[in-house]
């Protein structure tokens, strides 16, 4: 059964640390970013003369071992863990991409989606540049390798003028590490300090904590940072007139212990639950989450409503980590592969079931039936995000219009479809309040259909041969 969540984006990591085993630290940094992508992983390391690369399909722990890390010697590294948003899930699209250029070797890791990738790709092909993948990330790599400018600083500035859409980049040259965040700040990127002279860049601050690095600050929207032996320096700041941080980083994507705009995502999600309780109360005996991602919102709902928090579902946390497909008999078991109910907690109870989002609606109904079969007498579903009525074209695999249940159905129709006694979603205003930054700009495209940049519809496998 397909997981009824927006699929993750990618995780990027970069490190400059002359006195450290940078490949090993990158491995652990990627390990902490595994939630952002589970399809492939790669690490590129520079020793000041050349860049060595290892990448494969699979989870970080499947791709790397002592033998594959040992040849990756140097003082600069970038790493990437991928979920495919442009270009299918195959080795040719795995990152980082590494090429030779007139300025020396270049490696690029990318989180996001370029909305003008089709035009940029066609320009490269018209110039005679050969492309080996169907990923917009290779387009970025070749744009930098052969773009205008006599230095990497200049090439990155030109790229930022040309590129449209979402991108957080770690860029590795033979003697420097660059961090680049798109002008809208659509997805997070931060910088920290490791050891006496080392610096780290990562999609989320949780990766810094994992390797013992000290969080310094977020990379600003439109900022290009170069890191070398003199430490970090800002090459350029080219922000858009308005910020447009992805609201789903607050709802689901980023790890709850990561910091965004000065607060943990856990605190923001608890606040979402409190807002949801104020907006949509329920007469019930217990509040339970769909584990694990809805736990903070359920805690907040319980706090604000005064209804006791409890556990009603136990998640098999490793089912999603296998590439072995269930046979026909196990497919019929369905949702029980992933969740088991706690009948002792549910018997005779009126339940508020908290989830952070409903995309297709293909798992919510079976979960409701699981609770009723375990003895719940009422199930009131509350969702700590607004209805998702539109796809994402900026780095999140959010499903297509026909797949989105809130695009096809009204809330009363969804309520009947799921078989719940009542259903309510958090309002967009309530979600923005819960971020603690109501005056900041956010991308609301998946809720409203209004995107911060012009959207050119590009399907995930548009560039496949």
Q: Binding-site residues for [4Fe-4S] cluster, please?
A: 246, 392, 443, 446
10, 168, 190, 206: the catalytic one is 10
Beta strands, E only, 23-82: 40-46, 51-57, 76-82
Task: Tell me the HSE value of 356 on the side-chain side, using a 13 A CA sphere.
Answer: 27
Residues that constitute the known binding site: 246, 293, 355-356, 392, 443, 446
Tokens matching residue 365 = 């109904």
* Residue 327, Cβ density class (10 Å: 0-12 exposed, 13-18 middle, ≥19 buried): exposed
Q: Annotated binding site for Mg(2+), which residues?
A: 293, 355-356
Distance of CA 192 to CAs 133, 249, 422, 464, Å?
32, 20, 45, 37
Is residue 350 a contact partner of residue 284, using CB atoms and an 8 Å limit? yes
Active site residue 10: yes
Q: What is the DSSP string of 104-142?
A: EEEEEEEES-BTTHHHHHHHHHHTT----SS-HHHHHHH
Helix (H) or strand (E) holding 198: strand 198-202
Distances in whole angstroms, Cα of residue 380 to Cα of each of 97, 429, 434:
47, 22, 22
Could you tell me which of 415, 354, 423, 425 has the C-alpha nearest to residue 389?
Answer: 425
Asked if residues 453 and 185 have their Cβ atoms less than 8 Å apart, the reply is: no
Give the separation between CA 419 and CA 368, rounded to whole angstroms: 7
Contact 364, 356 (CB under 8 A): no
- Catalytic residues, by residue number, are 10
């Amino acid at each position: 059964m397909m997981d009824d969540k927006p699929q993750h984006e990618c995780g990027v990591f970069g490190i400059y640390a002359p006195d450290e085993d940078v490949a090993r630290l990158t491995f652990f940094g990627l390990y902490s970013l595994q939630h952002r992508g589970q399809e492939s992983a790669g690490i590129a390391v520079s020793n000041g003369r050349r860049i060595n690369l290892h990448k494969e399909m699979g989870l970080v722990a499947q791709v790397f071992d002592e033998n594959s890390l040992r040849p990756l010697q140097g003082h600069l590294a970038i790493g990437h863990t991928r979920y495919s948003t442009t270009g299918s899930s195959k080795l040719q699209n795995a990152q980082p991409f590494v090429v030779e250029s007139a300025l020396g070797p270049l490696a690029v890791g990318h989180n996001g989606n370029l909305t003008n990738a089709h035009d940029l790709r066609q320009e490269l092909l018209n110039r005679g540049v050969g492309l080996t993948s169907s990923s917009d990330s290779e387009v970025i790599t070749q744009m930098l390798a052969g773009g205008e400018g006599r230095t990497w600083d200049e090439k990155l500035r030109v790229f930022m003028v040309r590129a449209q859409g979402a991108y957080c980049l770690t860029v590795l040259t033979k003697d420097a590490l660059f961090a680049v965040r798109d002008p809208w700040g659509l997805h997070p990127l931060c910088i920290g300090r490791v050891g006496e002279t080392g610096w780290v860049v990562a999609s989320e601050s949780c990766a810094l904590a994992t390797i013992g690095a000290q969080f310094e600050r977020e990379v600003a929207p439109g900022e290009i940072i170069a890191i070398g032996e003199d430490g970090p320096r800002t090459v350029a700041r080219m922000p858009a007139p308005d910020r447009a941080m992805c609201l789903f980083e607050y709802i689901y994507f980023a790890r709850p212990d990561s910091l965004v705009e000065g607060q943990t995502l856990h605190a923001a999600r608890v606040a979402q639950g409190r807002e949801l309780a104020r907006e949509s109360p329920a007469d019930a005996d217990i509040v339970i989450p769909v584990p694990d991602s809805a736990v903070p919102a359920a805690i907040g709902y319980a706090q604000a409503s005064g209804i006791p928090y409890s556990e009603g579902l136990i998640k098999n946390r490793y089912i999603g980590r296998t590439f072995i497909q269930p046979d026909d008999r196990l497919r019929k078991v369905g949702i029980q592969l992933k969740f088991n109910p706690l009948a002792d907690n549910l018997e005779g109870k009126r339940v508020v079931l908290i989830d952070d989002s409903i995309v297709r609606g293909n798992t919510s109904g079976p979960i409701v039936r699981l609770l009723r079969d375990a003895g719940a007498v009422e199930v009131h579903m509350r969702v700590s995000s607004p209805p998702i009525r539109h796809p994402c074209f900026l780095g999140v695999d959010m499903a297509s219009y026909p797949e989105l249940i809130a695009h096809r159905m009204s809330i009363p129709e969804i309520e009947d479809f799921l078989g719940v006694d009542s259903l309510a979603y958090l309002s967009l205003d309530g979600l923005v309040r819960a971020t603690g930054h109501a005056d900041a700009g956010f991308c609301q495209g998946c809720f409203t259909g209004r995107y911060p940049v012009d959207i050119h519809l590009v399907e995930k496998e548009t560039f496949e041969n």
